[in-house]
Structure formats: C-alpha cells, structure tokens
Structure 1
Amino acid sequence: MWSLHNLILTCTAVSCVTGDAIIPVFGYEGSDAEVPCPYPVGYEDYEKYLCKNDYEYSTDDDVPIRSEGENNKYSIYHDQEPLTFTVSISDLQFDDAGKYWCGVTRTGNDIYTEVKLEVRNDMWVGTPTKIRGSEEGSVSIDCPYESDDVNNLKYVCTGNRHSVCLQQAIITSNNAQDGRFRLTDDKNERVFTVTISRLSLRDSGSYLFGIQRNAGWDGFCAFDLEVKGEMFKLYINSMDF
C-alpha cells in the first residue's frame, strides 16, 4: 500500500507535469476542507492521490491517500463525469496549511496540479462591538461591507464560530423576515441592518453578521448584545427630561 510519505517522494524525486493554475482551498481550524483535483481526459481509470511537500513522518505507512482510499484524516472521492477527484481533509489544524499536489499516477512522469491550503482560526478573535437593549424593546445593528459584496448573500447567526454560521443562520437576505428578526440591505450605502424586536433576556449573547463570498473567506462583523430587564428600561426612561 502506498503511503503519503511514498507519494511525497514521487513528487520530489521525479519530474512531473503540472498545470499553470494553483487551486486555492480555505478551511477553518477543527473543520473540514475539500480539495477539488481536476485531471485531463483519458486518465479516468488511473490512480489518483494527494501529496504534500515538506511534511515529516516517522514511518512509511503514515496516512495512505490514494484512489478511493480513506482514513481518519483523509478520504478521496472520484467523480469521472467532471474529470475531478476530491480529497477531503478532516479536523484541520494550522500545520495542515501549505502546498499540496493533486497527482495522477502514470508511466513516466506523473500529472499533478498545485494546491494551496489556508487554515484560519474558527473563532472570532477580535473585539466585538457592544450593543445594549432593554427587554421588550428593539435594537437595530449595522454591518458595513465592501462594494464587491453588494450582491452577495448576507446572514446572521448566534455564537462566534465562522465555519457553522451560515448553516445555523437565524436569518439571511434571502429570507429577510423571520419572527422578531428582520434584515434590510442598503446597497447604496453598502451596509446591511438587522433589527430585533420584542427583545428578551435570552437574546443576550454573541452574534456574527456574515457576507458570503464565492471564493476565499466570508466577511464578518461581530457583536455582543446585552438585554437588560424592566428595571433598566425604567431607569432609561427616567433620564428623559
């Protein structure tokens, strides 16, 4: 059985044929990444693999990764119709980042394409904007975005994990009203606003406002919402003279 160590030798010890394009792949620490590996027509039945440069292993049987192979870290799925095989890398760590090669075994020089994997922290690490509201009242929270994101999907989730935010979204720009949550998008000012009405104490917590992007990382704004009880509302009203 070939190992990833053996495959590294294939890429470094012989001359290989490669395309000009570098495939960018992005993933968050602790989540999964999928590496799409295209190949030329005529090589549908040849062995496929993924290898990584400058990766050290203590034994020769570390992480076998070849056609239809899988283990706890890597798996390969081959779909012949679009001439692409896909390598899944699970439980990403920062040391998984770097240069990889999508390879096709053949007589003579193997065919491969370069891949660059970037890994980022899954948790919001900046300082979130503090927002306060009173029970049964409402708040409106703004998130600005770049001009390139005008037509991109906007979404909101609770918590501070980037990788699951879209899947766990409370509301999106495709579903702009959901119960007490309403999302409006001012494309001229390039800012989207989420209004939460009839606030309750349970609404307190962390929120991420996301902007979906077709390539690379989604953009985010982060907020900490604190909802005060009725006594706070009475105090605020008493300050109005």
Structure 2
Amino acid sequence: MKTTTPLVSEELTAAPLSSAAGSIRVFGYEGGDVNVSCPYDWGFEGHQKYLCNDGCRYADVLITTSQGSSGKYSIHDDKTARIFTVTISDLRLDDAGKYWCGVTRIGRDISIERELEVKPDRCCDTVNNIQGNEDGSVTISCPYDSQSDNKLKFFCRGNRPSTCLQQAVITSSNTQDGRFRLSDDRKSGIFTVTISSLTLKDSGSYLCGVQRNSGFDVFSAVDLEVKEWCCVESKNLSGIAGRAVTFQCPYPPHHRNNMTFLCKGAQRSDCTYMTYQGRFTLHNVNAAFFSVVITKLEAEDSGTYWCRSDPEWIVGNYTQFHLTVEEVEQRGLSIIEAQYWLFAALPVLLLILIIILVKVCRTKRRQLNEAAVDMNTSKLEAADAQDVTSGEDIYKNDDVAAMFRQQKRTQQRTHVLPGTADEDQVIYENNPTEQIYCNHFI
C-alpha cells in the first residue's frame, strides 16, 4: 500500500505497551470476519494507529486510521476507551499468522502482537446420523468434556460454526422453545436435545455447540433424516361384545430381540400401551408374526390400535387396526326383525305368484283357441273355394247337365221318394262315382 509518509521504521522492533503483556490469539472462520482489538495508553489518542503483518516494515502496513478502510480491512479508533479495532473481512486460510497493532510516535513505534487462527467454516469429520419419523419425536445426544460443565450449550441448524450461536434454536439458558427441549446431564457429560412433532422439513444438518471463553467453540455434527409415513398397513376388524378378537402383527426375524407393542390411540405418536395381562394376551410369537388376543370384548374396546416390534417406530414396521365392537342384543334384535318381516311378506309373495300363474295359463289357453279357430277357418275357406270351382265346372259342362236331367227322369220312373233310404242306393246304381260326388256339390 502507499502512504504519504512512513509510519514505521524499516526494521520494527516491537515495544509492548505498559498495559499489555504478551501475544493474544484471535480466531476466525474462513469466509467470515474477525475483529482485532488493540488497546493503547493515555496520551496517544491523537496519534495514528495501524495494523501490519510479517516483518511490519513499511510495505507490510495493512491499514491506518487515516485511511479508514482499504480492501478487506477497516479500522475504528475509540479514543474514549483508548482501543482501536481492525476488522478483517472475507477471511482465507492463508490469512492466519502474526499481526501487530502499532501506534506511531517519535522514534520507535509502539506495537503489540496478535496471532490469528483461521479454520474452515464447516464441521465435522465425524457426523452422527439420526433417523426420526414424521409426527414422532427424536432425541439427539451431544457429548462434551469435563472442562465444559459450566459452559453455555447450544443447538443450531446448519453446518456453519461461525453463525451457530447467533442462530441457535435452543440453549442451556433457555431449555424449552416450542418443539425443542434441551436437557443437560453434567454427570455423564452429555446434553440432549429433543425435537417433537417432527416434519419432513426437519431433515438436515445440525450442530451441537459448547461455548469457550477463548478460542473456537466446540462442535459436534448431526445429520437428521425424517421419514414419511408412506406405507401404512391398515386393517378393519369387527367383534361381538363378550367374545374374543385377534390382532396379527408382523414380526421380522431381525426383531426377535425386540419387545412387542400394542397401543391404542387415534395417533401413532400418542397412544396408550396395552399391557399383556387381563383381557389382553400375547400368543403365537414366531419368526413371521405375533398375535394379541382380546377376550370378553367390551363396547369401549372399539377404536384404533397400533402394533409394532420396534421402539423407534421405523417406517413399515407397524400395523394399524380399526376395531368395531357390536353389542349382542343389537345383533339378535336385527335377526328377529328380519325373520318377522320375512314371514309377514310370505303370504303376499304367494298371492302374487298365484296371480302370475293364472294369467300365464289364461294367456296360453287363449293362444290355443285362437290357433284352432284359425285352422278351422282355413279349412272352410279351402272347402268353399273347392265347391265354387266344382259348381262352375258342372254348369259349364253340358254333359253333366244332361246327366242331371236323365237322373231326374229315372227317379220319376222308379217312384222313389226323395229322402228315403233307397234314394242313395238308386243314385249309386245308376250313376258313376264321379257323378255322385258332383251331385253332392250341387
């Protein structure tokens, strides 16, 4: 940097202020800011101050009070408190090292040493993976050393140590905040954070932090995964008061050492555990399933039940049952009523059946009569047609007419009276067969 007049000698030898002793360490995170505070004695309020590094020669001066700010450096002089502060922004790992706070004076300048440490703004090499289920709760354990018993503990979301304390969702000075609760067990050196009513948005990275009076705060990293209740197996069961009903629950082989659970409640996260005693008994425990039998059912047993064999409520390891209990009296009354209505309706059904049969029979008879009439009519029409044709042929045939006259004269000679028994015989004897048929037609 350029200045109008030299502020330091070519070879600066640090001369500590009477109010300061030794080097002070300063800490910052990569990408963040750090404040370097530099006190000075009374009488130097009007003197120019600066910050330098390396050999603190003329070219090593980073910022002066006459400049105010330069690049990533800015300076402020509080003359009342006799402290000037240099802020270094956008820290990089190579910014770490030794710095000197300088006060100009005639002869050798006064300076005090500062050592800056810079760490990456992330944590940590080891991450504790935690799983929780939607609508449930999860407890996160955060260990710390014995020197931090009385230190402030805090819990924040994300993975940036530089802003964790400022953005903490819960601290040991405020142990309850909404869904978050912090509990500190100093004997075991562990503080726990419980998150209730989990949502899918709660998934992500978290940091457990312990504040230090100097140096970097201590952190441990947690990765929380909240699983969705996506595969609920739900079954409907019904039972009769006074009798028994059986719940059959899955029991995977890798759960053989787990306790079996049956609880009652509308929500899986808030249900009452039903102990296996009294009317509730455990049966048929094997590698595939376990059964819970409720004997002597009561109306109050109706409701929603949950069975599982995993205390952490892992998704897919539970079954939901909706149980309905019916009263015996109500079930018997409905059967009696059904029988009564059946017997009451039986005569009516029989009458309707008889009426239908009568109508069917009448219809069949009418159809038969009509068929017979049609047949007779057809025969008569055919006979009439034949008569007409035969008559016309007779009258058109002169021979037939002559024969007819001859027949008449013969009847007169034989003096046979018409209508007597011998009439037909005379006709048959004196006339051929064809003439007889023709006479019938005439």
Deviates more, 1:68-77 or 1:97-106: 68-77
Runs of at least 5 residues in structure 1 that lack an aligned partner in the other structure = none
Partner of 1:10: 8
- Matches of 1:228 and 1:212, distance apart in 2: 32
Structure 1 residues 209, 126: CA separation in 2 closer, same or farther (over 3 Å shift)?
same
1:105-116 equivalences under 5 Å are 105-116=104-115
- Matches of 1:126 and 1:140, distance apart in 2: 22
Deviates more, 1:223-232 or 1:198-207: 223-232
- Residue 214 of structure 1 aligns to a residue whose secondary structure is coil
Partner of 1:156: 155
Q: Is the 8 A contact 1:4 1:51 kept in 2?
A: no
> Which structure would you say has the larger RCO, counting Cα contacts within 8 Å and 6 or more residues apart?
1
1:1-40 equivalences under 5 Å are 3=1, 10=8, 13-19=11-17, 20-40=21-41
CA root-mean-square deviation? 2.7
- Bigger radius of gyration: 2
Structure 1 residues 230, 56: CA separation in 2 closer, same or farther (over 3 Å shift)?
farther
Q: TM-score, normalised by structure 1?
A: 0.88
Q: Percent identity?
A: 51
- Matches of 1:94 and 1:149, distance apart in 2: 28
Partner of 2:295: none
- Residue 182 of structure 1 aligns to a residue whose secondary structure is strand
Partner of 1:118: 117
Q: TM-score, normalised by structure 2?
A: 0.49
Displacement of 1:89 in angstroms is: 0.4
- Matches of 1:175 and 1:219, distance apart in 2: 19
- Residue 21 of structure 1 aligns to a residue whose secondary structure is coil
Displacement of 1:95 in angstroms is: 1.1
Displacement of 1:151 in angstroms is: 1.5
Displacement of 1:175 in angstroms is: 1.6
Q: Is the 8 A contact 2:10 2:57 kept in 1?
A: no
- Matches of 1:120 and 1:39, distance apart in 2: 29
Q: Which amino acid aligns with 1:151?
A: N
1:138-217 equivalences under 5 Å are 138-217=137-216
Q: Which amino acid aligns with 1:80?
A: K
Deviates more, 1:37-46 or 1:97-106: 37-46
Q: Larger % of helix: which?
A: 2
Deviations 1:80-130 (A, max 9, x none): 232211110000011111000000000001000011000000011413110
- Matches of 2:315 and 2:204, distance apart in 1: 22
Q: Which amino acid aligns with 1:191?
A: I
- Residue 163 of structure 2 aligns to a residue whose secondary structure is coil
Structure 1 residues 4, 194: CA separation in 2 closer, same or farther (over 3 Å shift)?
farther
Deviates more, 1:18-27 or 1:90-99: 18-27
Q: Is the 8 A contact 2:48 2:65 kept in 1?
A: yes
Displacement of 1:191 in angstroms is: 1.1
- Matches of 1:62 and 1:14, distance apart in 2: 11
Q: Is the 8 A contact 1:69 1:76 kept in 2?
A: yes
Structure 1 residues 205, 149: CA separation in 2 closer, same or farther (over 3 Å shift)?
same
Q: Is the 8 A contact 2:11 2:55 kept in 1?
A: no
- Matches of 1:199 and 1:56, distance apart in 2: 59
Q: Larger % of strand: which?
A: 1
Q: Is the 8 A contact 1:183 1:195 kept in 2?
A: yes
Displacement of 1:72 in angstroms is: 2.9
Number of aligned residue pairs = 234
Partner of 1:237: 318
Structure 1 residues 203, 55: CA separation in 2 closer, same or farther (over 3 Å shift)?
farther
